[in-house]
Amino acid sequence: MVERGNSLAQRDIGAHLHPFTNLKQHEADGPLVMDRGEGIYVFDDTGRRYIEAMSGLWCTSLGFGEQRLVAAASRQMARLPFNHTFRGRSHESIIELADRLVAMAPGKMSKAFFANSGSEANDTAIKLIWYYNNAIGRPAKRKIISRHKAYHGTTVATASLTGFDDFHADFNIPLPGILYAGCPHHWRHAKAGESEDEFADRLARELDELIQREGAGTVAAFIAEPVMGVGGVIVPPRSYFPKIQAVLRRHDVLMIADEVICAFGRTGQMFGSQTLGIEPDMVTMAKSLSSAYVPISALLISEPIYRTLVSQSVKLGLFAHGYTYSGHPVGAAVALEALNIYRERDIVAHVRKVGARLQNGLRALADRPIVGEVRGLGLMAAIELVADKASKTPFAADKRVAAFLARAAQDQGVIIRPIDQCVVMAPPLIITESEIDDLLGRLARALDETAAAFHPGLARGAA
């Protein structure tokens, strides 16, 4: 047995299996150990401060150390630390939260079901769609359409919806009956001379052809993030979702809005569906619902779907789905306080103001020789890296340019996330204009270092 060291890093290597990590590299490099957080900043175990420009994983929207959320959790723990919601049991916090979410959600929602993560919320959506179609005598209508470069989770079902090959490799997924429509990234996938509106027309036409080819009687639902997060902050053309939904309505296919990343102000409105023109039949949300202080997620469903669940539960004796922690009192209490803060501080208006500063500041960096595209909306953005700007040619994958840039940014005191050929960021919604300026300055230095490493003759400032 190998002797383990006593440092936190050594103990982590010795005992902790990390998600989304190169495990061999982790054995060599060890973890970045965080000790505390304050506002938009986190501090590692050496005391070094970083701008947490990813809000953790798109989720710590109200920043670190928000004492109102801490107090809400403490009060609820002291009063009722746990209560399940099986077989009709409930409690005040979850009743209030369900009521508020149904009232504020996009579309015409009727009921809220609670879980612990976005993956579980999306997994539940799939189950309910199958249950719904079986109940109304359409058992063949069960296929779900996702999109290439979509991210919807990592359970067996939701990883199948996630449109990345490396999420599937050697896990024996995707499941049968999962289909993929085109990625709505105009800069990368449009044909020569194709406008954004024409691109949206083509994607809608291709979706229509996919449904007809599969048979509309076999296709149950289409799931989409308003803005694709893990796919690289891909903002679709403004006409995209109205055109897509016209196709869905024509074939009686349900629309699931995955708001796990976009909800609660990230795009400059309370929900990404409002920003992008989505009229959903189901909505999933998590992450910023509690500012990630405690795990909680929700699936909201429309009244027609709910009435069918009622009828079928009568037939079968009960609605046989749920999780031990569905509607956990502490998660509900913290989520309620987060909703209070969003409203009282007008976080959505703040995002519109500071989001413009972030987007404009990032676009000012687009002249760097390795920057192909800067894109984003509100307080989420991406920088696409290219070997050649004119042809949009990406770097060879083994160069790991995005990872180099993310490491250079970390050395500058900014945490961003590398994804394939781009880096993405989604800072806490409480970030100020001066903090954005600081972030941009640090990121510019990291970009210049990366350009010098990969395009030394073209780097900014080179002769």
Beta carbons of 296 and 331 less than 8 angstroms apart? yes
Q: Could you give the angle at the alpha carbon of 421 between the alpha carbons of 407 and 60, nearest 5°? A: 60
pLDDT of 455? 78
Query: Which parts of the chain sit beneath pLDDT 70?
Result: 1-5, 456-463
Q: Name the DSSP class of 193.
A: T
**Residue with the two structure tokens 């619902």:** 289
| Full DSSP string of 361-393 | HHHTTTTSTTEEEEEEETTEEEEEE-SBTTTTB
Beta carbons of 73 and 333 less than 8 angstroms apart? yes
Judged by DSSP in three states, 189 sits in helix
Tokens matching residue 75: 């009060």
Let me know how long the chain is: 463
> Which residues sit opposite 37 in a β-bridge?
42
Query: How large is the greatest C-alpha to C-alpha distance in the chain, in angstroms?
Result: 77
Q: Are strands 219-224 and 414-415 parallel, antiparallel or unpaired?
A: unpaired
Where does the chain hold its CATH 3.90.1150.10 domain(s)?
32-65+346-454
Tokens matching residue 361: 């500041």
What confidence tens digit (pLDDT) does each residue in 324-347 have? 999 999 999 999 999 999 999 999
Where does the chain hold its CATH 3.40.640.10 domain(s)?
68-344
What confidence tens digit (pLDDT) does each residue in 24-66 have? 999 999 999 999 999 999 999 999 999 999 999 999 999 999 9
The pTM assigned to this predicted structure is: 0.95
What H or E segment, with its residue span, contains residue 87?
none
> Which residues sit opposite 382 in a β-bridge?
375, 424
CATH for the 68-344 domain, from 1.10.645.10, 3.40.640.10, 3.30.390.50, 3.40.50.720 = 3.40.640.10
**Residue with the two structure tokens 């083994």:** 398
Which CATH number is 32-65+346-454 given? 3.90.1150.10
Judged by DSSP in three states, 282 sits in strand
Closest of 407, 389, 397, 411 to residue 458, by C-alpha: 389
The gap between the terminal CA atoms of the chain, to the nearest Å, is 56
Cα separation, 121 vs 259, whole angstroms: 10
**Residue with the two structure tokens 């940014």:** 409
Cα separation, 261 vs 266, whole angstroms: 8
pLDDT of 462? 40
Residue 415, CA atoms < 13 Å, CB-side half-sphere: 20
Judged by DSSP in three states, 106 sits in coil
In the sheet that holds 34-38, the strands lie side by side as 34-38, 41-44, 49-52, 414-415
Cis amide leading into 174 (omega within 30): yes
Rounded to 10°, the helix 433-454/401-411 angle is: 130
Beta carbons of 41 and 64 less than 8 angstroms apart? yes
- Over its C-alpha atoms, the chain yields an Rg (Å, rounded) of 23
**CB 206: neighbour CB atoms within 10 A?**
13
Beta carbons of 128 and 305 less than 8 angstroms apart? yes
pLDDT of 456? 67
Closest of 273, 249, 276, 256 to residue 144, by C-alpha: 256
Cα separation, 10 vs 153, whole angstroms: 30
pLDDT of 296? 98
Q: Could you give the angle at the alpha carbon of 253 between the alpha carbons of 248 and 257, nearest 5°? A: 80
Cα separation, 182 vs 189, whole angstroms: 9
